[in-house]
Structures are given as C-alpha cells and as structure tokens.
Amino acid sequence: QVQLVESGGGVVQPGGSLRLSCVASGFTFSRYGMHWVRQAPGEGLEWVAVIWYDGSKKYYGDSVKGRFTISRDNSKNTLFLQMNSLRAEDTAVYYCARDECSGGSCSLDYWGQGTLVTVSS
Amino acid sequence: DIQLTQSPSSLSASVGDRVTITCRASQGISSYLAWYQQKPGKAPELLIYAASTLQSGVPSRFSGSGSGTEFTLTISSLQAEDFATYYCQQLNSYPQTFGQGTKLEIK
C-alpha cells in the first residue's frame, strides 16, 4: 500500500533553516510528481511546491519562492524540502502528497501524516 | 494567481440532510478541480478529481459538478462520519491554490 512518511520537523529560530524529508513506499516513486502542502495551526491548506517525477520542473507558492527548495532522490524514494530564512508565518504542519494524473486531470491522491515545523525564538 | 472562494465557510446540518458546498474560481479553470475532506488531526483525503470524478473507495453519496469558474460538492445524505472540513483545489495552473475551507458541523 502507498505510504508517505515525513520527518525533519521541529523548532527553529527565525532566520534559521530546516530540511524536511518524505520517504515513499508502495509505489514506483520515480513515476510520480510530488507536492508539499502546509497548514498553519487552525488554518486552511496552503500549496507550497511541486516537483516533476524526474526533477526536471519545480514550481513554488508565492510565499516561499526564493526561500524554499524542493528536490528528490529517486534512488532513495525520498522527497525533500529545504527551508531557509524561516519566518514565524512558516509555522505549520507540512504534508507531502503524491501527484496522480489520469486522463489529463491531476489530483493529490495520497498524503503523508505531516510533520510540524515551529518557527519561534 | 487563481483565487478560490468557498461558500459557506461553515455549515450546520443533521444526519440525513443533503448539503452543497460551492467553490468559485477567480478565472476559468476548465475542470481542473479537486475536493478533499479533512478531519481534525488528520491529513486531507481526496474525494473528487476532475471536478466530478469520484475517487476510488469514496461513497457514492458524494458528488461533484461544474466547470469554468463555478463548482459544487454535494453530499446527498449526510452520515455521522461526514462531519469534517472540505477544501477545493485548482490544478489548472501554478501556483496551485486551495479554497479557504468549509467546516461542516452537526446541528
């Protein structure tokens, strides 16, 4: 069965950096695009970034562009999110999710359980 | 960026009720819209993609419709397990965006 397991969250000071990981299993990781989505405490979902199945294309949300970098290692079935210049407003649960496209339409069909990032001094 | 506006933001209903949630896009997105359900402390789960296609395993009381700028999610007969928060997402263009959510509560 498809599993996505995030790790790497924790408490970091403003201006600091953190690297999140998402290990995938139960499917051929190298055939799927992958997303990061976050959710601030008590708030809604915010799309963060996507990476193509082969890493050839990456897109970011406006609030993280230039500070966050999405990457992947298909040999290790792992997705990453490098977060730099962190701000208090980056505090959130970060989810990784699989991008499923069929018939020209896509969706996020599997999600991890999330990892909490807290930016605080 | 494409903005998605859901209405209502919250809704009280009873078991057995029929409920409809609307998602409006700030510009046309064809049928590139998905709906998710999220329960407290859990990750979102996919309900519907391509505006109207039911994800495998999702009960048939859920349905979606619409195209262009206006979309609806309908639950034909609410069950106790349906009380949750629902989000729409546009996948037409980057950056992808979510609606602000609709919290469905028990009356």
pLDDT tens digits along A8-33:
999 999 999 999 999 999 999 999 99
Cα–Cα dist B11/B4, whole Å: 18
pLDDT of residue A62: 97
With beta carbons under 8 A apart, name residues in chain A contacting B57. none
pLDDT of residue A105: 86
Strands B10-13 and B102-106: parallel
Cα–Cα dist B69/B87, whole Å: 16
Q: Give the closest residue to B101 by CA, choosing from B5, B16, B13.
A: B5
Chain B contact present for A111, CB below 8 A: yes
Chain B contact present for A105, CB below 8 A: yes
pLDDT by position in tens, chain B (length 107)? 999 999 999 999 999 999 999 999 999 999 999 999 999 999 999 999 999 999 999 999 999 999 999 999 999 999 999 999 999 999 999 999 999 999 999 88
> Phi/psi at B81 (nearest 5 deg)?
-75, -5
Q: Give the closest residue to A114 by CA, choosing from A62, A36, A55, A46.
A: A36
User: Are the C-beta atoms of residues B61 and B74 closer than 8 Å to each other?
Assistant: no
CB contact under 8 A, B95 and A107: no
- Which DSSP letter does residue B93 get? S
Cα–Cα dist B29/B64, whole Å: 15
**Each residue of A50-87: pLDDT tens digit?**
999 999 999 999 999 999 999 999 999 999 999 999 99
**Each residue of A30-47: pLDDT tens digit?**
999 999 999 999 999 999
CB contact under 8 A, B46 and A109: yes
CB contact under 8 A, B36 and A105: no
Residue type, A100: E
pLDDT of residue A8: 98
A48 has pLDDT over 90: yes
User: Measured between CB atoms, which of B43, B46, B94 is closest to A95?
Assistant: B43
Residue type, B47: L
Confidence grade of residue A102 (pLDDT, cut at 50, 70, 90): confident
Our CA-based measurement puts residue A120 at a distance from the nearest CA of chain B, in whole angstroms, of 22
Confidence grade of residue A103 (pLDDT, cut at 50, 70, 90): confident
pLDDT of residue B64: 98
pLDDT of residue A104: 78
Chain B contact present for A59, CB below 8 A: yes
With beta carbons under 8 A apart, name residues in chain A contacting B53. 105
User: Measured between CB atoms, which of A62, A105, A108 is closest to B32?
Assistant: A105
With beta carbons under 8 A apart, name residues in chain A contacting B86. none
CB contact under 8 A, A45 and B96: no
